[in-house]
Amino acid sequence: METVRFHTVTPFLLLSIILLFAGATHALDSHFGRGSFPSGFKFGSASAAYQYEGAAFEDGKGPSIWDNYTHQPGKILNGSNGDVAVDFYHRYKEDVKLMKLTGLNAFRMSISWPRILPKGKLSGGINKEGVAFYNNVINELLANGITPFVTLFHWDLPQALEDEYTGFLSRKIIDDFRDFVGVCFKEFGDRVKHWITINEPYIFIEGGYDGNAVGNLAPGRCSDRTRCAQGNSATEPYIAGHNVLLCHAAAVKLYRDKFKAIQKGQIGAIVVTTFMVPYSNSKLDIRATQRNFDFQFGWFTEPIARGEYPEIMRSIVGDRLPRFTKEESELLKGSYDFLGLNYYTAIYVAHLSSPNTVNISSSTDSMVQLLAEKDGVPIGKPTGNGFFSYPKGLYDLLVYIKDKYNNPTIYITENGYGSRNNGKDEIEDPWRVEFYKVHLRALLQAIDKGVKLKGFFAWSFLDNFEWSSGFTVRFGIYFVDYENGLKRIPKRSAIWFKRFLQKN
């Protein structure tokens, strides 16, 4: 048996554990806790391989586009990278024990494509060390009563496929993605019963192929030559997005045809959206809000639900938007057993009276102006990373999905509070406690309205590498001491969650 290292258990952690069991924590509503939710409701946290694992070049793993992107000067806010990240690769046993201690009964993780297929292709060989690592993590989770929810693609495309045929800009990606997920289903599907194909395609596509709406992300393509060496923001986001959707459809078909009946699992998709509020009651602003919602949420939700892009996208984008064949449309339609929803913030939307007709891009096609405040008042309580706490938006989104898409099973696959990295001052985080309280209450209201909500995943359990923001932002309920051996220290929010999850 491998010896478990406890070098991350600090005196502060031991003191916090004592406080937890002594009940000396921040006051909690006596009737608000795990028992407020339906039986079987999952409470977990979410993660991504590149943001958590580290070990970027160990045990046979191949490079991903994020390994390449973060090592390019000026791409990451503080010049950091995910080479080590928070070292989950070596510390997963300790972290899983902390999850159990906190009371979580689910964990959303992703599988790194280049850790399984270092060259991106099945013909390039399967990395046995990578398979062994994920087997070990899954087994550790199950041994501690924690259900794994596995994301098959969380942005870390093998660099080899980007080099060979520009990744998602080529339809060749579909066959290689199908091969990759087939290995995952075969190797892990006897224990993994909740699969997610692709995380937040809107963010990955906009950031990777346009860069205006959400900032630059790997592979870092766009029309602006001051920021991107190559790319076309008017066409490439739609091409890449189209192929992402076809990859999703291929994965779902493979699972349903060859694995679902035997393994008896479920497969779904994750969509993300900002909640959008019309800036005024004018018809123009109301229409602009729906239009922008269709360009963000509808872009990827409508195809997997109904087999086609939103009508307004087809009308505005025209020939720049690829079309699905009849067969592709049928494969996409209803291609989920559940929907994952990532939700963080809200924004005001106003009609743009003078649309940009010079620098055409996917981020300007919706012809809107986005505003964080109205009459000098922010739309919600500001967080530390430019987002706003707006729990009503979460409730309204859930009811909208229920009414429009025939009340599907839904999991909140990400929701959390980002704050600027202020060192150990972050350990006392009453603002994060309040954020989770109000959003969990919004979930109860949605459940009371008939929404089939089955679980909630906080982003995130640990502070971690936050993409282009590097280590300048913290989302964790556990503090990771980047200056002192990556020690894990519970924040007030972790202690609150422990007490919340004890309330039956």
Task: Count Cα atoms within 13 angstroms, Cβ side, for 52.
Answer: 27
In Å, the largest CA–CA distance within the chain is 67
Strand extents, DSSP E, 279-408: 339-342, 346-351, 368-371, 373-374, 377-378, 381-382, 388-389
3 state DSSP class of 422: coil
Tracing tokens 């159990």 back to the chain, one arrives at 100
DSSP conformation letters of 89-128 = HHHHHHHHHHHHHHT--EEEEE--HHHHSTTSSGGG---H
Q: How many residues does this entry show for the chain?
A: 504
Q: Which of 140, 206, 302, 414 is catalytic?
A: 414
- Reported as type and span, the H/E element at residue 252 is helix 236-258
Catalytic annotation present for 200: yes
- Torsions phi, psi of 152, nearest 5? -80, -30
Tracing tokens 């406080």 back to the chain, one arrives at 19
Instruction: Provide the residue type at 285 as one letter.
Output: D
3 state DSSP class of 152: strand
DSSP conformation letters of 425-470 = GGG--HHHHHHHHHHHHHHHHHHHTT--EEEEEES-SB----GGGT
- Dihedral of alpha carbons 229, 230, 236, 240, sign: negative
Catalytic annotation present for 414: yes
Q: Which of 140, 162, 187, 200 is catalytic?
A: 200
Which sequence positions are flagged as catalytic? 200, 414
